[in-house]
Chains A and B, each alone.
Chain A
Amino acid sequence: MALEDSHVRRAAHLARIAVSDDQASGFVEDLSRILDMVDQLQGVNTDGVAPLAHPLDATQRLRADEVTETNQRDTFQRCAPAVENGLYLVPRVVE
Chain B
Amino acid sequence: MQWETVIGLEVHVQLATHSKIFSGASTAFGAEPNSQACAVDLGLPGVLPVLNEQAVAMAVQFGLAVHADIPEVSVFDRKNYFYPDLPKGYQTSQMYHPIVGPGEVEIALDDDTTKRIRIHHAHLEEDAGKSLHEDFHGMTGIDLNRAGTPLLEIVSEPDMRSAKEAAAYLKAIHSIVTYLGISDGNMAEGSMRCDVNVSVRPKGQEAFGTRAEIKNVNSFRFVEKAIAFEVERQIELIEDGGKVVQETRLFDPERDETRSMRTKEEANDYRYFPCPDLLPVVLDQAYLDHLRSQLPELPAEKRERFQQALGLSAYDASVLSASRDMAEYFEAVHRVCGDAKQAANWVQGELSGALNRENLSIANSPVSANQLGELVQRVLDDTINGKAAKQVFQALWHGEGTSADAIIEAKGLKQVTDTGAIEAMIDQVIADSPAQVAQYCDAEPEKRGKMIGYFVGQVMKASRGTANPQQVNGLLKEKLDALL
Residues of chain A touching chain B, judged by Cβ–Cβ distance below 8 Å, are 10, 13-14, 16, 53-54, 58-69, 71-73, 76-77, 82, 84-95
The verdict on A93 contacting B84 (CB below 8 Å), with A14-B269, A54-B276, A59-B281 known, is yes
Number of A-B contacts (CB under 8 A): 124
16 chain-A/chain-B pairs, Cβ below 8 angstroms: A53-B274, A53-B276, A61-B50, A65-B17, A65-B53, A65-B55, A66-B19, A67-B25, A69-B24, A76-B42, A88-B142, A88-B144, A89-B139, A92-B133, A93-B84, A93-B133
The verdict on A14 contacting B271 (CB below 8 Å), with A63-B51, A63-B52, A71-B35 known, is yes
Expressed in whole angstroms, the minimum distance between the Cβ of B89 and any Cβ of chain A is: 8
Closest to B38 in A: A69
Expressed in whole angstroms, the minimum distance between the Cβ of A85 and any Cβ of chain B is: 7
For B126-160 the 0/1 string (1 means CB < 8 A from A) is 00000111001011111110000000000000000
A60 close to B139 (CB less than 8 A): no
The verdict on A60 contacting B282 (CB below 8 Å), with A89-B141, A91-B140 known, is yes
Which residues does chain B contribute within 8 Å of A61, judged by CB atoms? 50-51, 279
The verdict on A86 contacting B24 (CB below 8 Å), with A59-B282, A62-B56, A93-B131 known, is no
A67 close to B271 (CB less than 8 A): no
B34 close to A91 (CB less than 8 A): no
Expressed in whole angstroms, the minimum distance between the Cβ of B260 and any Cβ of chain A is: 13
A62 close to B131 (CB less than 8 A): no
Which residues does chain A contribute within 8 Å of B34, judged by CB atoms? 73, 76-77, 86-88
A62 close to B53 (CB less than 8 A): yes
A92 to B138, CA, bound (A): 6
Which residues does chain A contribute within 8 Å of B19, judged by CB atoms? 63, 65-69
A88 close to B50 (CB less than 8 A): no
For residue B240, CB closer than 8 A to chain A, the reply is no
Expressed in whole angstroms, the minimum distance between the Cβ of B182 and any Cβ of chain A is: 12
Which residues does chain B contribute within 8 Å of A67, judged by CB atoms? 18-19, 24-26
Expressed in whole angstroms, the minimum distance between the Cβ of A62 and any Cβ of chain B is: 4
Which residues does chain B contribute within 8 Å of A69, judged by CB atoms? 19, 23-26, 36, 38
Which residues does chain B contribute within 8 Å of A76, judged by CB atoms? 34, 37, 39, 42, 44
For residue B54, CB closer than 8 A to chain A, the reply is yes
A84 close to B136 (CB less than 8 A): yes
B36 close to A71 (CB less than 8 A): yes
**Which of A13, A62, A84, A90 has a CB less than 8 Å from the CB of B52?**
A62
Which residues does chain B contribute within 8 Å of A71, judged by CB atoms? 32, 35-36
Which residues does chain A contribute within 8 Å of B142, judged by CB atoms? 87-90
**Which of A58, A72, A91 has a CB less than 8 Å from the CB of B139?**
A91
A90 close to B143 (CB less than 8 A): no
Extra contacts besides A62-B50, A89-B136 (12): CB < 8 Å: A14-B80, A16-B82, A53-B75, A59-B281, A60-B279, A62-B53, A63-B19, A66-B19, A71-B36, A76-B39, A92-B133, A92-B140
Which residues does chain A contribute within 8 Å of B279, judged by CB atoms? 54, 58-61
B33 close to A90 (CB less than 8 A): no
For residue B266, CB closer than 8 A to chain A, the reply is yes
A10 to B54, CA, bound (A): 40
A23 to B56, CA, bound (A): 46
For B39-63 the 0/1 string (1 means CB < 8 A from A) is 1001010000011111110000000
